[in-house]
C-alpha cells in the first residue's frame, strides 16, 4: 500500500491535534448543558462564549454577531432563508451567482418555489462576476445579494469589497459563503460591507458538523428551526459544546499561523501549476490565475476522463477531486465548469488539487510524476 497523499483540503481537513485536545473534555468531564444554571452548566456556557469571542475576533466582528450552527450548509440556509422570510414585505428578489455551492443554489431554488425571484449572475471565463451586471440586476424588490467569497472548485476569489459597496449603496443585505475563504484569506469585517457570512470548521482543521454564521447587528433575519431559545433565540437546539470549542480553537490557530501557511500553500500551488503546464501538453488552468485561493489548482486535461484519472491516482495513494465533492459521482460536468464556459469534453478532464498543512514539496513532486504517467497512459 502506497503512503496516502491527501490533496483534497477543499473537501475537508483533518482536525488538528491541538483542536481535538481542547474539545475532548467537553464530551465527558465537562458535559453540562450551557442552559443549566448550576456550576456544571456554567462551565459549558463559559466555553461556548469564549469560543464565540475567538470566532468574532478572527474576522473582526462582535461576539454577539456570531451564531453557531451545525455546518456551512446550515449557515447558508439560515442566512438566505432567514433574511428572505424576515424581509418579505420589503421585496421578493434575491441575487446570487451560477457558481455557488449547492447549499446556496438549492436554498435559492427552494425560495423560488415559494414565490421568490432569483437572479443567477453569470461569471467570466475566470469565474469572476461582473459588478456591472450585478448593479443592473438590482431592482426595487431586491432584498439580498448572496455571493461566495471564494469558489470551492476553481478557487476564484470574488470582488467582495466592491460587492459590499454596491449592496450598501442600494440598502440591500449582502451574504457571503466564506466557507473556503476562512483560514485562506484575511477577512476584516470592519473594512468589508458584509451583513452575513457563513463558515464551516472542517474546512480549516476543525471538526465536521460545526458551522457558524456572522450576522451584523441590526440585520433583520428570522430563525428557520423551531425549538428552544439557544443562540439568542435564532438557532434552536442544545449547543454542540465540544464542536463549538473546536471551531473557536481552529479559527484562532488559522489566523495565528496565517502568513506562514498562506505562503506555504501559495508556493506549492504555483510550483504544481508551473510544472504541470511545462510537462503535460494540453493542460488548462481553470479559475483566475492570481485572484485565487492559495491552495487551489484546478486543471483540465484534454482528452481525459477525470474518473479514470482519479482511479489511477487513488491506486498511487493520491486523494484528489474532479470537482466539488458534492457533485462527484454525477456524470454531468460541474455547474461551475459549465458557467466558466468550458466545453463538456474539456470539463470532463478537470482535476481539482487543493493543498494543505500536511503536504510538502516531495509529495507534490510525486503527484506531478504520477500525473505525467497517468495522463500519458490514458491518452493512448
Ligand X SMILES: *Cc1c(COP(=O)(O)O)cnc(C)c1O
Residues annotated as catalytic (active site), given as ranges: 326
> In the bound complex, what is the minimum distance in angstroms from residue 46's beta carbon to ligand X?
26
Count the residues of the shown chain that bind ligand X, applying the rule CB under 6 A.
14
For ligand X, the closer of residues 213 and 283 by Cβ is 213
Query: Quick check: 200 binds ligand X (CB under 6 A)?
Result: yes
Among the residue ranges 177-185, 276-284, 328-336, 361-369, the one whose residues contact ligand X (CB under 6 A): 177-185
Reduced 3-state DSSP string for the chain = CCCCEECECCCCCCCCHHHHHHHHHHHCCCCCCCCCCCHHHHHHHHHHHHHHHHHHHHCCCCHHHEEEECCHHHHHHHHHHHHHHHCCCCCCEEEEECCCCHHHHHHHHHHHHCCCEEEEECCCCCCCCCHHHHHHHCCCCEEEEECCCECCCCCEECCHHHHHHHHHHCCCEEEEECCCCECCECCCCCCCCCCEEEEEHHHCCCCCCCEEEEECCCCCCCCCCCCCCHHHHCCCCCCCHHHHHHHHHHHHHHHHCHHHHHHHHHHHHHHHHHHHHHHCCCEEEECCCCCECCCEEEEEECCCCHHHHHHHHHHCCEECECCCCCCCCCCCCCHHHHHCCCCHHHHCCEEEEECCCCCCHHHHHHHHHHHHHHHHHHHC
Binding ligand X (rule: CB under 6 A), the pick from 77, 152, 184, 240 is: 152
Cell readout for 215 is 450576522
Among the residue ranges 84-92, 198-206, 216-224, 252-260, the one whose residues contact ligand X (CB under 6 A): 198-206
Query: Quick check: 253 binds ligand X (CB under 6 A)?
Result: no
> In the bound complex, what is the minimum distance in angstroms from residue 7's beta carbon to ligand X?
16
Query: Quick check: 211 binds ligand X (CB under 6 A)?
Result: yes
> In the bound complex, what is the minimum distance in angstroms from residue 235's beta carbon to ligand X?
15
CA dihedral 331, 335, 337, 340 (to 10 degrees): 150
Query: Quick check: 148 binds ligand X (CB under 6 A)?
Result: yes
Binding ligand X (rule: CB under 6 A), the pick from 9, 101, 175, 269 is: 101
> In the bound complex, what is the minimum distance in angstroms from residue 281's beta carbon to ligand X?
31
Query: Quick check: 77 binds ligand X (CB under 6 A)?
Result: no
For ligand X, the closer of residues 87 and 354 by Cβ is 354
Contact mark string toward ligand X, 154..173, x via CB under 6 A:
--------------------
Binding ligand X (rule: CB under 6 A), the pick from 22, 158, 177, 231 is: 177
Among the residue ranges 196-204, 253-261, 294-302, 334-342, the one whose residues contact ligand X (CB under 6 A): 196-204
Query: Quick check: 180 binds ligand X (CB under 6 A)?
Result: yes
230/222 Cα distance (integer angstroms):
13
Query: Quick check: 9 binds ligand X (CB under 6 A)?
Result: no
Binding ligand X (rule: CB under 6 A), the pick from 32, 34, 72, 287 is: 72
For ligand X, the closer of residues 179 and 299 by Cβ is 179
Among the residue ranges 31-39, 65-73, 124-132, 301-309, the one whose residues contact ligand X (CB under 6 A): 65-73
Among the residue ranges 45-53, 70-78, 121-129, 215-223, the one whose residues contact ligand X (CB under 6 A): 70-78
278 touches 146 (CB < 8 A): no
Among the residue ranges 66-74, 91-99, 218-226, 296-304, the one whose residues contact ligand X (CB under 6 A): 66-74
Query: Quick check: 103 binds ligand X (CB under 6 A)?
Result: yes
Task: Enumerate residues 274-313 that contact ligand X by CB under 6 A.
Answer: none
> In the bound complex, what is the minimum distance in angstroms from residue 91's beta carbon to ligand X?
25
Task: Enumerate residues 325-354 that contact ligand X by CB under 6 A.
Answer: none
156/146 Cα distance (integer angstroms):
16
26 touches 249 (CB < 8 A): no
Q: Half-sphere exposure of residue 208, counting CA atoms within 13 Å on the CB side?
A: 6
Using CB positions, name the residue nearest to ligand X.
72
271/30 Cα distance (integer angstroms):
46
Sites of contact with ligand X (CB under 6 A): 71-73, 101, 103, 148, 152, 177, 179-180, 200, 202-203, 211
Amino acid at each position: 500500500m502506497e503512503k496516502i497523499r491527501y490533496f483534497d483540503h477543499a473537501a475537508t481537513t483533518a482536525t488538528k491535534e491541538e483542536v481535538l485536545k481542547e474539545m475532548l473534555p467537553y464530551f465527558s468531564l465537562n458535559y453540562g448543558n450551557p442552559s443549566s444554571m448550576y456550576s456544571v452548566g456554567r462551565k459549558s456556557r463559559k466555553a461556548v462564549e469564549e469560543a464565540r469571542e475567538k470566532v468574532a475576533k478572527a474576522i473582526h466582528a462582535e461576539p454577539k454577531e456570531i451564531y453557531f450552527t451545525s455546518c456551512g450548509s446550515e449557515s447558508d440556509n439560515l442566512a438566505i432563508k432567514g433574511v428572505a422570510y424576515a424581509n418579505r414585505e420589503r421585496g421578493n428578489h434575491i441575487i446570487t451567482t451560477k457558481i455557488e455551492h449547492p447549499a446556496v443554489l438549492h436554498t435559492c431554488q427552494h425560495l423560488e418555489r415559494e414565490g421568490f425571484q432569483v437572479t443567477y449572475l453569470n461569471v467570466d471565463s475566470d469565474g469572476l462576476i461582473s459588478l456591472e451586471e450585478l448593479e443592473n440586476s438590482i431592482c426595487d424588490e431586491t432584498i439580498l445579494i448572496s455571493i461566495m467569497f471564494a469558489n470551492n472548485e476553481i478557487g476564484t476569489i470574488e470582488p467582495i469589497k466592491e460587492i459590499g459597496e454596491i449592496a450598501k449603496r442600494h440598502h440591500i443585505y449582502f451574504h457571503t459563503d466564506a466557507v473556503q475563504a476562512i483560514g485562506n484569506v484575511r477577512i476584516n469585517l470592519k473594512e468589508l460591507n458584509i451583513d452575513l457570512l457563513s463558515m464551516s470548521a472542517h474546512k480549516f482543521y476543525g471538526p465536521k458538523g460545526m458551522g457558524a454564521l456572522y450576522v451584523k447587528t441590526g440585520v433583520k433575519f428570522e430563525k428557520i428551526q423551531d425549538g428552544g431559545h439557544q443562540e439568542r433565540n435564532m438557532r434552536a437546539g442544545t449547543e454542540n459544546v465540544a464542536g463549538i470549542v473546536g471551531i473557536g480553537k481552529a479559527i484562532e490557530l488559522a489566523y495565528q499561523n496565517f502568513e506562514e501557511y498562506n505562503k506555504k500553500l501559495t508556493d506549492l500551488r504555483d510550483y504544481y501549476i508551473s510544472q504541470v503546464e511545462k510537462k503535460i501538453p494540453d493542460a488548462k488552468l481553470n479559475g483566475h490565475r492570481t485572484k485565487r485561493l492559495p491552495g487551489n489548482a484546478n486543471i483540465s486535461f484534454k482528452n481525459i476522463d477525470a474518473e479514470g484519472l482519479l482511479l489511477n491516482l487513488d491506486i498511487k495513494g493520491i486523494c484528489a477531486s474532479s470537482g466539488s465533492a458534492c457533485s462527484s459521482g454525477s456524470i454531468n460536468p460541474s455547474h461551475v465548469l459549465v458557467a466558466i464556459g468550458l466545453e463538456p469534453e474539456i470539463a470532463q478532464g478537470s482535476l481539482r488539487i487543493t493543498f494543505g498543512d500536511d503536504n510538502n514539496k516531495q509529495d507534490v513532486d510525486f503527484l506531478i510524476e504520477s500525473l505525467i504517467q497517468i495522463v500519458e497512459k490514458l491518452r493512448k
